[in-house]
């Protein structure tokens, strides 16, 4: 209904020789592309599902082209794949140690998925959607990391994994207080991990939309855009470059924090 109302308003405005611009939050709206219900639950294929599938397809093509014909002297695609994988593996070496390499495929997959989803959301003119701008997606990824950390921790250390929350050589009174704080901090990890990525992606796209709307609005006033439109246009270009940087940095931060959490499960530090 919201989209239908917007379309009717746009038609009315066009008849009056004006222009129509959706609000900055409209870009985050979930649109159902293929209704589907499974066991009473809504499992419809949405625009978010579509762009996550596109992200997986891009990653698949990137990996296939880069590894289809491995050579001793790598070409550009092979070098790109090896560089990204070595980057993730070195990050695990630094934060977890040699034992962290067995988790490199997981962290690599999460890093690539978040990175490509972030970057696809910046594509112009194709109705791009950013899945990582929704808390449900980022929370799902965060809980995946949290579950793996818990499984690894109990699998390697058993009940001794709880020593992660108890400072060594601490008296009972202080230890119980610190134990409570550490447990709450540990349980909040998936939420802080999810909110950090979601908030950064949402805020950046809202800024781009607001400044982009400002530039388009100035374009409807004849010669004014040549006078007043240069500065907001320059700011919008700078914000786009900044958002591109943030897309890469947030994927790195997500993978880095996942590595640090794995370090707790592996080494109990």
Question: For the segment 231-246, what is each residue's pLDDT rounded down to a tens digit?
Answer: 777 777 888 888 899 9
Report the chain's terminal Cα–Cα distance, integer Å: 53
The two structure tokens encoding residue 263:
């370090």
Q: Examine the pLDDT at 224 and tell me if it is beyond 90.
A: no
Give strand pairing partners of 45: 34
- Give residue for tokens 């202080």: 174
Pinpoint the alpha helices (H) of the chain: 2-15, 47-67, 76-95, 104-120, 135-157, 172-187, 189-218, 224-228, 230-267
Dist CA 81 CA 121 (whole Å): 22
Nearest partner of 112 among 47, 167, 63, 77, judged by Cα: 63
Please report the pLDDT score of residue 218 as a whole number: 66
Rg for the chain (alpha carbons), in Å? 23
Average pLDDT over residues 83-106: 92
Please report the pLDDT score of residue 46 as a whole number: 87
- Asked if 221 contacts 158 with a C-beta cutoff of 8 angstroms, the reply is no
Please tell me whether residue 22 adopts helix, strand or coil conformation: coil
Dist CA 96 CA 90 (whole Å): 10
Greater model confidence, 60 or 177: 60
The rounded Cα 39 to chain-centroid distance in angstroms is: 30
Please report the pLDDT score of residue 10 as a whole number: 46
Residue 261: other Cβ atoms inside 10 A:
24
Total tally of structural domains belonging to the chain: 1
Of 61-75, 88-102, 134-148, 190-204, the one with minimum mean pLDDT is 61-75
Residue 72: DSSP 8-state: S
Please report the pLDDT score of residue 228 as a whole number: 63
**What pLDDT, in 10s, does the model give residues 119-172?**
998 887 767 888 998 999 999 999 999 999 999 999 998 988 888 888 777 778
Please report the pLDDT score of residue 235 as a whole number: 75
Q: Which domain holds residue 85?
A: 2-267
Nearest partner of 60 among 112, 22, 97, 118, judged by Cα: 112
Q: pTM to 2 decimals? A: 0.84
**What pLDDT, in 10s, does the model give residues 13-38?**
344 444 455 676 777 788 888 888 88
- Asked if 231 contacts 238 with a C-beta cutoff of 8 angstroms, the reply is no
What is the pLDDT confidence band of residue 47, given thresholds at 50, 70 and 90? Answer: confident
Distance (Å) of CA 14 to CA 1, 6, 214: 20, 12, 19
Greater model confidence, 75 or 60: 60
């Amino acid at each position: 209904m919201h989209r239908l109302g917007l379309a009717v308003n746009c038609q009315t405005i066009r008849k009056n020789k004006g222009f129509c611009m959706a609000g900055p939050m409209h870009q985050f709206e979930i649109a159902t592309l293929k209704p589907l219900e499974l066991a009473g639950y809504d499992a419809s294929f949405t625009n978010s599902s579509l762009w996550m599938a596109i992200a997986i397809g891009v990653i698949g093509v990137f990996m296939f082209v880069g590894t289809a014909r491995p050579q001793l002297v790598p070409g550009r695609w092979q070098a790109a794949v090896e560089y990204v994988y070595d980057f993730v593996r070195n990050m695990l070496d630094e934060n977890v140690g040699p034992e962290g390499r067995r988790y490199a495929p997981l962290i690599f997959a999460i890093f690539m998925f978040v990175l490509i989803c972030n970057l696809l959301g910046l594509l112009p003119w194709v109705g791009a959607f950013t899945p990582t701008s929704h808390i449900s997606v980022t929370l799902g990824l965060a809980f995946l990391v949290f579950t793996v950390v818990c499984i690894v921790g109990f699998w390697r250390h058993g009940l001794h994994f709880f020593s992660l929350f108890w400072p060594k050589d601490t008296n009972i009174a202080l230890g119980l207080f610190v134990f409570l704080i550490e447990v709450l901090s540990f349980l909040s990890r998936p939420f802080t991990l999810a909110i950090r990525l979601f908030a950064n992606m949402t805020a950046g796209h809202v800024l781009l939309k607001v400044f982009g709307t400002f530039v388009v609005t100035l374009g409807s006033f004849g010669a004014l855009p040549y006078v007043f439109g240069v500065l907001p246009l320059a700011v919008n270009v700078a914000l786009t470059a900044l958002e591109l940087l943030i897309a890469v940095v947030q994927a790195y931060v997500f993978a880095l924090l996942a590595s640090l959490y794995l370090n707790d499960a592996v080494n109990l530090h």
